[in-house]
C-alpha cells in the first residue's frame, strides 16, 4: 500500500494540482481532473456538489482521512485545504489509490477519454 501523505506531497511538488472547492467543482464539471481529494471535514453541500459532478464526468474521488488542516500540512500550504484536484500526478503514484483492481493492476486511468 502506498503512503497517501507522501503521494499527495509529491503530486503537489511535481505535478499540476489545484487547491480549493471552487476549482474542484469546476474540474469535476469539466472532467479535467484525474483525481479529486476531499478532506474528511469538507462541508456537506460542497462535498455533495463535487460528488455529483464527479459521478457525471467519471472523475474519481478520494476522501482523505484527516481534516482540512491535516491536508494543508501534507501539501505544505499555510491555509486550510478542503479539496484539491490532481490534474497531472507528476512523479507521484497518487493515482494508484483509485480502483487498482479495475484498471488492470497499474493504477492508471483506465478507459478515460482524453481530448
Query: Looking at the predicted structure, is the pLDDT value of residue 104 above 90?
Result: no
Query: Looking at the predicted structure, is the pLDDT value of residue 26 above 70?
Result: yes
Number of domains in the chain: 1
Weakest-pLDDT range from 2-6, 8-12, 44-48: 2-6
Could you give the C-alpha distances from 19 to 61, 101, 103, 110, in angstroms and in order?
A: 14, 28, 26, 25
Residue 9 is part of a domain; what is its CATH number?
3.30.1330.30
Query: Looking at the predicted structure, is the pLDDT value of residue 63 above 90?
Result: yes
Q: Is residue 110 part of a domain?
A: no
The mean pLDDT value of the chain amounts to: 84
Q: Is residue 109 part of a domain?
A: no
Residue 2 pLDDT: 74
Q: Is residue 93 part of a domain?
A: yes
Could you give the C-alpha distances from 96 to 2, 23, 79, 106, in angstroms and in order?
A: 8, 22, 27, 7
Q: Is residue 11 part of a domain?
A: yes
Q: Is residue 87 part of a domain?
A: yes
Query: Looking at the predicted structure, is the pLDDT value of residue 98 above 80?
Result: no
If you average pLDDT over residues 55-75, what whole number do you get? 93
Residue 58 CA to residue 55 CA, distance in Å, equals 5
If you average pLDDT over residues 13-28, what whole number do you get? 93
Give the three cell numbers for residue 67: 481534516
Residue 107 CA to residue 97 CA, distance in Å, equals 7
Query: Looking at the predicted structure, is the pLDDT value of residue 114 above 50?
Result: no
Query: Looking at the predicted structure, is the pLDDT value of residue 1 above 80?
Result: no
If you average pLDDT over residues 67-72, what whole number do you get? 93
Q: Is residue 103 part of a domain?
A: no
Domain that holds residue 33: 4-97
pLDDT band at 88 (very low <50, low <70, confident <90, very high): very high
Amino acid at each position: 500500500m502506498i503512503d497517501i501523505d507522501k503521494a499527495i506531497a509529491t503530486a503537489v511538488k511535481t505535478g499540476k494540482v489545484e487547491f480549493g472547492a471552487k476549482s474542484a467543482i469546476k474540474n469535476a464539471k469539466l472532467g479535467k481532473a484525474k483525481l479529486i481529494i476531499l478532506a474528511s471535514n469538507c462541508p456537506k453541500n460542497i462535498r455533495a456538489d463535487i460528488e455529483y459532478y464527479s459521478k457525471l464526468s467519471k472523475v474519481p474521488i478520494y476522501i482523505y482521512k484527516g481534516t482540512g488542516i491535516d491536508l494543508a500540512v501534507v501539501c505544505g500550504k499555510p491555509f486550510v485545504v478542503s479539496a484539491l484536484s490532481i490534474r497531472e500526478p507528476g512523479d507521484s503514484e497518487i493515482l494508484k489509490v483509485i480502483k487498482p483492481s479495475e484498471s488492470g493492476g497499474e493504477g492508471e486511468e483506465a478507459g478515460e477519454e482524453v481530448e
